[in-house]
Amino acid sequence: MNKYLILCIDDEREVLESVLTDLTMFEQQFDIEGCESVAEAQTFLTQQLEAGQALALILCDHMMPDIQGVDFLIELNQQACFQPTKKILLTGQAGLEATIEAVNLGGLDCYIAKPWQAGQLQQHVKHHLTQYIIEQEADMMPYAPVLETQTIADAWQQRRLEIAAQS
Amino acid sequence: MANFVVLVVHSDPQILQQIKASLTPLYQHFEICCVKTVRHCKSKLAQYQLNQQAVACLICSPSLLASCEKLGVDEYEGPNKPTVRRILVGEVEDVEALINWLNSSQIHQFIYQNKVEQEILNGVKKQLCHFAISENLPIAQYLQSIEIDNILTNQLIKQNKKLQHGFFDYTRYSDEELSKVVIDSLYYIFEHNDDHHVCRRYSANHLLTQEGNTNDVLWFIASGEVMLKKLNSVGEQQQVTVMRAGSMVGGMSFITGEPAFTTGITLTPTEVIKLDKNKFAEVMKSHQALLAPFTNLLLRNFNRRLQSSISTKLQLEETMLSLDAAHQQLLETEKMAVLGQLIAGVAHELNNPVAAILRGAETLKNKVPHLLANETEVAIRKLGSATLDSAMHLTPMSTALIRQKTKQAQEHFPSQLLAKKAVKMGLDDNDNYQNYCAQNKVDSAALINELDNYYQVGNFLRSIDVCAKRIADLVKGLKHYAGQDTAQAQFVDLRLGIEETLVIFENRLKQFEVIKHYHDIPSVQCHAIELQQVWTNFVANSIDAIGSKGTLTITTRTIDYRGQAGVKICFEDNGPGISGDKINKIFDLNFTTKREGHFGLGIGLTVCQQIIARHHGEINVCSEIGEFTRFEVLLPVANANIKQQRAGQ
Amino acid sequence: MPERSTLLKAIFCTGIPLLILAMPTSWIPLPELTLVQHRIIAIFVMAALLWILEPVPVFATSLLIITLEVVMISDQGWQGFTHTQGNVPLGELLPYQSIFASFSSPIIILFMGGFALAIAASKYELDTNLARVLLKPFGNHIHAVMLGLMLITAVFSMFMSNTATTVMMLAILSPIIATAPQGDLGSKGLVLSIPIAANTGGIATPIGTPPNAIALQYLPEGSVTFLEWMMIGLPFVIIQLAIAWVLLKLLYPAKTARLPLALTGQFLRSPKAYIVYVTFATTILLWLTTQLHGMNAYVVAIIPLAVFTLTGVINKQDLKLINWDVLWLVAGGIAMGMALDASGLAVKIANNIDFASMGTWLVIVSLSLICYMMANFMSNTATANLIMPIAAAVAMTIPAFAGSDTGLTSLLMIVAFSSSLGMILPVSTPPNALAYSTGFIETKDLLKTGLLIGGTGLGLIYLGLWLWF
């Protein structure tokens, strides 16, 4: 099990598969999982939390049965353990109000419209994973090759004294 | 010097001023810096860097955000490298713009420009709290600032105007000057002998005249406001006009003795001069000089009213002429508006399958050449094609099941990733996999990765197939809706039309439970596409009314309709319902409870009623608050003679 | 089960010393052993075991040493320890002040001065910008860049912590490596060059790495100045780097010869930044010119500390960035050495083993080899802490060294150099661990190059010694 998890939620299986396929480039450093509903995601996240895995990034559809994506992101954002998690909405259907709400309350970091381009999706995910790792992970260099190397290297350098003081 | 700065960059000086004013409570602990341009911002930032002050919160307009980012507001060397909290203040037209801002830099809060005064302080406080937490600032020290209440001060400015006296040629006076002369004179007269209490002061909501009652008093308003109201045809009080200082109230009924035409009621504390008939006669007799300006004033008063009513009448006639045309156009527009929104909705619906197809096609593009390259052994290729075949025909298992199985199988595989791939291909639960490896003498990791290529190709082929079918269904539904009925009514199974409508709404109905009680009904002679417009309206209304989760029940059954064979179609939702006073009006042309951004123009039910009426049917609605709303459509089966909407125009 | 093995280690590390403490003094094969000396042996064994096996952090061991010393062998210790029991002589108790004084030893101040320079330099980006500027003239050919990287890394690690220097240089390098084609050996060579240069560079100055300073502690006051150390250390470092450069070129041939270097650096121009630049240069200059002004390295070291804290260059927050654990580790070593020395135990042991008959060469080679071996598996500083007092005592008894300080000086410097040469594993030194964490290199790369560089380093030491004497 990797230390960090990337979770994708989409109620449409075909779309979910496509997203997961597009993210395979990160699978060596991150566990990548898909869920077909928010309820499933909730149980799964609780389970992973107990196992000590942190949620680095969540890619969530908006229009879903039961709970809508934005509402779920807001719910997540209210839990301290998921606040650092980078939250991306992948949808074609979130309205203006819902998006503003997601920004103000849900800590939304990014919005990707469907249909998406693989490169664009990967770039956004890479960027936000990089930010997450810089904010959360002391030993960030192992992530540098798959993420934004320059950014991580810069952040690492900024912290050189702390690292020196710790090792 | 405060350690932290709240930086406001906005090109609109008014908003800048508003923000600056709203943030005064924070001055004690934060430096609030308001600048108009990026250039100013830059020099300020340089200064802060020198002083080792850090920007804690950046407030700016969307258009300036990017340039502010470029200046490097984040270049603060705090121990935790906290992010500068960013608040956007501005207008946002559509979600696209918001997404652009969001994706090009971090935003923590968005505040509408017109709400900035109410929301900015709390917003900044909230963001400063976030900042303080991430920066590990001793919050207590700042708490005072962050919690201080906003003190509003209001100053009333009074203006004094000098009284003016002694004019004779009243025709040269403006209306205001003339009335001032009369009122000032009256005050002068009653200044020292107001035995009858002529000069009065009323509080707000004091009734002066009552519509329909006789009135023998004349009021001059010296200060304050009086509203004139009149009952309209529905029995509601409608505002006619607001009279201010210098006006006369009750003049017409006072002179003519007819019942009062309007109800006059004070809006604010009002100073008046109240003259009844006796007092009026007394004043006119004793102060004859006042007669001329008063008569002049009265005549002018009446003249103004006459002029305005004539021009109103002319306007009304004009309006009446254009209204007919507008009505026709409105009905057409409603259909187009609904259609337009439907198309937008369907375009959204298409996103999911289109995205899946595009992504799938790209994956195939990458994988297929490899599979065709003939580099793999024959045995593995056989296995591969079997894997591909099953992936293409079997619906994949749920993600939860995959996870569960992966967990169980994990110990047999080198890594979790491989275990997951094997589970997806169904290689985990039998001895297949061990056999394969033994037989083919290959490394299990290599084998699984190779087979996974085949699996993915199969799976994406299946997914493309599924998605393409869905698109086809959607397009079919839309094509029918946008199309035109044949001139002659056709016999159609109404359930097909309903189903097509539901397909169009599929995504928006995701949060709904749709229950269908379709009893066998005969084909009905009708214009199917017009009826589809009716179903669309019902479904759209339910979605709009409920907003989130709900149930929609659709029932079809045969009935006896006015002595002949008929059908009844019911659409029932468990939404908030419609109150008794509104339910009678929902078919009226100008009735709507809809908010912006919902379906249609709010005249959908009017159109529905007309369509059903043309079909010689009935449309009924019943509802209970908080329980349900049910629309019923009753139609005769045989219906040879239907006027078409377009034929009528 | 990591917890369990830690517990076992801890039991072992305390059990053995307790056994030593419990057994009669007469069992220990040293003549006229006093109780105090007996206890010091137990403390020393425990310190050695704890530092080697590391069931607790190395700096915690240091604190334990000081605590045990003041309780067990100081004149203000526990009553039960300050009075004679039985017929074994108690021996002379140590003044407790001198044990505590290890915290304020000049060596500690020297290090604080060094840390202050490093903190200020990195806060005002002096180091990064300087590194980028200095790297530019080396062009973009991979071997030239490697040479540049090694030289710059070495120079910086002479005055800053080896670890901080490594982080900085790896951060400059890794974006370039990430764009290189996967599996290019040349990239590995580049990454390896940095920890090697950092470990080696530290040898050149007394403040380059803690073992050097510990060696100074055992040398008579004023016998080696900053400049004198550099005159021996610097040539050694230069030759070692040259060897390492050639080795890396041969072992890791590059497929792509040109590197896409985009080095942009701009020096900060705020008043405080200028204070940093000037103070940095002045301090180094003062260190090198002791003869001219008479202030030794320790005295000079406190000047930047004062300048930076007064001008606000280093604030309260930054003060926390000082490597307190290193300071404690060194303080513990000083306390240990002081006890060994002051109680006369060190001399007693040295006298008892007949080093004279072993031959000077054998003594030097075996000490430096033991030191090298230990340094590979544990902290270099802890190694120096353990070996240095023994080496100092041994040097006294070697007839060839008698009469002058030169023998002592060279032996201690050899021990210090040897402890800095241990770099065959990721855990050997923090720079190795950092380079390993980037994922660009594997353990076997470190093993291969570390053994070769260590070997040539030891060889060079012996050659120098042979030529000298």
Maximum pairwise Cα distance, chain C: 77
Give the DSSP letter of residue C94: B
Is C317 in Cβ contact with B50 (below 8 Å)? no
Q: Which of B292, C131, B276 minimizes the C-alpha distance to A160?
A: C131
Q: Is the dihedral of CA C63, C65, C71, C76 positive or negative?
A: negative
Task: Count chain A–chain B contacts defined by CB atoms under 8 A.
Answer: 117
Residues of B whose CB is below 8 A from A9: none
pLDDT winner (highest mean) among A74-88, B56-70, B138-152, B477-491 = A74-88
Residues of A whose CB is below 8 A from C177: 149
Asked if A60 is an interface residue toward chain B (Cβ–Cβ < 8 A), one would say no
Do residues C26 and C136 share a domain? no
Among candidates A19, A31, A96 on the partner chain, residue whose Cβ is nearest the Cβ of B95: A96
Asked if A145 is an interface residue toward chain C (Cβ–Cβ < 8 A), one would say yes
Do residues C51 and C121 share a domain? no
CA-to-CA distance for B631 and C245, rounded, in angstroms? 87
CA-to-CA distance for A104 and A108, rounded, in angstroms? 8
Asked if A162 is an interface residue toward chain C (Cβ–Cβ < 8 A), one would say yes
- Domain boundary at C320, C341, C371, which? C320
How many domains does one find in chain C?
2
Residue B645: strand, helix, or coil = coil
Instruction: Break chain B down into helix, strand, coil percent, rounded to 5.
Output: 50, 20, 30
**What are chain A's domains?**
4-166 (3.40.50.2300)
Q: What is the pLDDT of residues B100-136, one digit of tens each?
A: 877 777 888 888 888 888 888 888 888 887 777 766 6
Amino acid at B415: S
In B, minimum Cα distance to A120 occurs at B103
In B, minimum Cα distance to A16 occurs at B356
**Residue C222 falls inside a structural domain:** no
Residues of B whose CB is below 8 A from A1: 416
- At residue B614, does pLDDT exceed 50? yes
Query: Which strands make up the sheet holding B54-60, listed edge to edge?
Result: B30-35, B4-9, B54-60, B85-90, B109-112
pLDDT, greater one: C393 or B603:
C393
Question: Which chains sit next to C, with 3 or more Cβ pairs under 8 A?
Answer: A, B
Q: Which of residues 82-141 of A touch B (CB under 8 A)?
A: 92-96, 99-100, 103-104, 107-111, 113-116, 118, 124
pLDDT category at B440 given cuts 50, 70, 90 is: low
Amino acid at B254: F
Do residues C245 and C294 share a domain? yes
Instruction: Phi first, then psi: give them for residue C100, nearest 5 degrees.
Output: -65, -25
Q: What is the pLDDT of residue B346?
A: 73
pLDDT above 90 covers a percentage of chain A that reads 33
Q: Which of residues 67-126 of B touch C (CB under 8 A)?
A: 77, 79
**Distance of CA B419 to CAs B57, B194, B393, B408, Å?**
48, 103, 22, 9
Structural domain harbouring C64: 1-103
In C, minimum Cα distance to B136 occurs at C317
Residues of B whose CB is below 8 A from A104: 108-110
Residues of C whose CB is below 8 A from A156: 167, 170-171
**Distance of CA B576 to CAs B241, B555, C425, Å?**
37, 20, 71
**What HEC string does B20-84 produce?**
HHHCHHHCCCEEEEEECCHHHHHHHHHHHHHHCCEEEEEEECHHHHHHHHHHCCCCCCCCCCCCC
Q: What is the pLDDT of residues C219-277, one digit of tens each?
A: 887 788 888 899 999 999 999 999 999 999 999 888 877 877 777 778 888 888 899 99
**Residue C285 falls inside a structural domain:** yes
Convert C346-368 to b/e letters by CB count within 10 Å (16 or more is b).
bbbbbbeeebeeeebeebbbebb
Do residues C32 and C153 share a domain? no
How many other CB atoms are there within 10 angstroms of residue B640's CB atom? 8
Q: What is the pLDDT of residues B183-228, one digit of tens each?
A: 877 887 777 777 777 788 888 888 888 888 888 888 888 888 888 8
| Contact present, C216 and C107 (Cβ < 8 Å) | yes
| Contact present, A58 and A88 (Cβ < 8 Å) | yes
Residues of C whose CB is below 8 A from A133: none
Q: Which of B456, B384, B449 minimizes the C-alpha distance to B422?
A: B449
Do residues C42 and C116 share a domain? no
Asked if A28 is an interface residue toward chain C (Cβ–Cβ < 8 A), one would say no
**Residue C363 falls inside a structural domain:** no
Among candidates B95, B362, B398 on the partner chain, residue whose Cβ is nearest the Cβ of A94: B95
**Residue C45 falls inside a structural domain:** yes
Q: Which of C199, C150, C200 minimizes the C-alpha distance to C173?
A: C150
Q: What is the pLDDT of residue A5?
A: 93
| Residues paired with C468 in a beta bridge | none
The two structure tokens encoding residue B589: 């042309």
**Residue C281 falls inside a structural domain:** yes
| Residues paired with B491 in a beta bridge | B525
In B, minimum Cα distance to A105 occurs at B109
Is A141 in Cβ contact with C438 (below 8 Å)? yes
Task: Count chain B–chain C contacts defined by CB atoms under 8 A.
Answer: 6
Question: Which chains sit next to A, with 3 or more Cβ pairs under 8 A?
Answer: B, C
Residues of B whose CB is below 8 A from C274: none
CA-to-CA distance for B495 and B570, rounded, in angstroms? 12
Q: Which of B574, B582, B588, B558 minimizes the C-alpha distance to B493?
A: B558
DSSP string computed for B529-548: HHHHHHHHHHHHHHHHHH-S
- At residue B370, does pLDDT exceed 50? yes
**Residue C425 falls inside a structural domain:** no
CATH of B487-647, one of 3.30.70.270, 3.40.190.10, 3.30.70.20, 3.30.565.10: 3.30.565.10
Do residues C57 and C123 share a domain? no
Residues of C whose CB is below 8 A from A126: none
Task: Please give the average per-residue pLDDT across A126-144, as a whole number.
Answer: 89
Distance (Å) from the C-alpha of residue A140 to the closest C-alpha of chain B? 16
CA-to-CA distance for B355 and A113, rounded, in angstroms? 10
The two structure tokens encoding residue B428: 């985990």
DSSP string computed for C267-313: ---SHHHHHHHHHHHHHHHHHHTHHHH---HHHHHHHHHHHHHHHTS
Q: Which residues of chain C are at the B interface, by a Cβ-Cβ cutoff of 8 Å?
A: 123, 270-271, 312, 317
pTM of the model: 0.66
Q: Which of B524, B585, B574, B546 minimizes the C-alpha distance to B236?
A: B585
Torsion, CA C247, CA C252, CA C256, CA C257, rounded to 10? 0
Q: What is the pLDDT of residue B649?
A: 35
Q: What is the pLDDT of residue B430?
A: 57
Length of chain A: 167
Amino acid at C135: L
Is A164 in Cβ contact with C171 (below 8 Å)? no
Is A118 in Cβ contact with B351 (below 8 Å)? no
**Residue C351 falls inside a structural domain:** no
Residue A52: strand, helix, or coil = coil
Query: Which strands make up the sheet holding B564-573, listed edge to edge?
Result: B512-518, B550-561, B564-573, B628-636, B618-624
Do residues C280 and C181 share a domain? yes
Do residues C188 and C244 share a domain? yes
Q: What is the pLDDT of residues B274-329, one digit of tens each?
A: 888 888 888 777 777 777 778 788 888 888 888 888 888 888 888 888 877 777 67
Domain spans of chain B, in order of start: 4-163, 175-286, 306-465, 487-647
State the ipTM, two decimals: 0.83
**Distance of CA B368 to CAs B161, B314, B360, B384, Å?**
91, 76, 12, 12
Residues of B whose CB is below 8 A from A36: 398-400
Among candidates A34, A93, A115 on the partner chain, residue whose Cβ is nearest the Cβ of B507: A93
Asked if B113 is an interface residue toward chain A (Cβ–Cβ < 8 A), one would say no
pLDDT category at A146 given cuts 50, 70, 90 is: confident
The set of long-range contacts for B229-234, using a CB threshold of 8 Å and a minimum separation of 24, is: B229/B262, B229/B263, B229/B264, B229/B265, B230/B261, B230/B262, B230/B263
Q: Which residues contact B491 (CB under 8 A, 6 or more apart)?
A: B523, B524, B525
Is B77 in Cβ contact with C270 (below 8 Å)? no
Asked if B80 is an interface residue toward chain A (Cβ–Cβ < 8 A), one would say no
Report whether the peptide linkage leading into residue A115 is cis, meaning its omega lies within 30 degrees of zero. yes
Instruction: Phi first, then psi: give them for residue B624, nearest 5 degrees.
Output: -135, 130
Q: Which residues contact B78 (CB under 8 A, 6 or more apart)?
A: B54, B135
What superfamily would CATH give domain B4-163? Response regulator (3.40.50.2300)
Helix ranges (DSSP H) in C316-404: 316-319, 324-342, 345-352, 355-358, 360-377, 380-397
**Residue C263 falls inside a structural domain:** yes
Q: Which of residues 18-47 of A touch B (CB under 8 A)?
A: 18-19, 21-22, 27, 31, 33-36, 40, 44
- At residue B592, does pLDDT exceed 60? no
Is B49 in Cβ contact with C317 (below 8 Å)? no
Residues of A whose CB is below 8 A from B362: 118
Q: Is the dihedral of CA B115, B119, B120, B126 positive or negative?
A: negative
Asked if B469 is an interface residue toward chain A (Cβ–Cβ < 8 A), one would say no
Establish whether domains B4-163 and B487-647 are of one fold: no
Tell me whether residue B91 is exposed, middle or buried, using C-beta atoms within 10 angstroms of its C-beta: 0 to 12, 13 to 18, 19 or more. Answer: exposed
Q: What is the pLDDT of residues C374-413, one digit of tens each?
A: 888 888 888 888 888 888 888 877 777 766 677 888 888 9
- Domain boundary at C292, C320, C348, which? C320
CA-to-CA distance for B520 and B517, rounded, in angstroms? 10
Distance (Å) from the C-alpha of residue B106 to the closest C-alpha of chain C? 24
Q: Which residues contact C57 (CB under 8 A, 6 or more apart)?
A: C325
pLDDT, greater one: B447 or C280:
C280
Q: What is the pLDDT of residue B490?
A: 83
CA-to-CA distance for C135 and B5, rounded, in angstroms? 38
Amino acid at C132: R
Q: Which of residues 13-72 of B touch C (CB under 8 A)?
A: 49-50, 52
| Contact present, B165 and B184 (Cβ < 8 Å) | yes
pLDDT, greater one: B199 or A122:
A122
- Domain boundary at C258, C293, C320, which? C320
User: What's the CA angle centered on B294, arms B289 and B296, to 5 degrees?
Assistant: 110
- Pick among A130, A154, A161, A162 to test the C interface (most C CBs inside 10 A): A161
Distance (Å) from the C-alpha of residue B10 to the closest C-alpha of chain A? 20
- Domain spanning B175-286, CATH class: mainly beta
Is B362 in Cβ contact with A118 (below 8 Å)? yes
Task: Please give the average per-residue pLDDT across A126-139, as a whole number.
Answer: 90
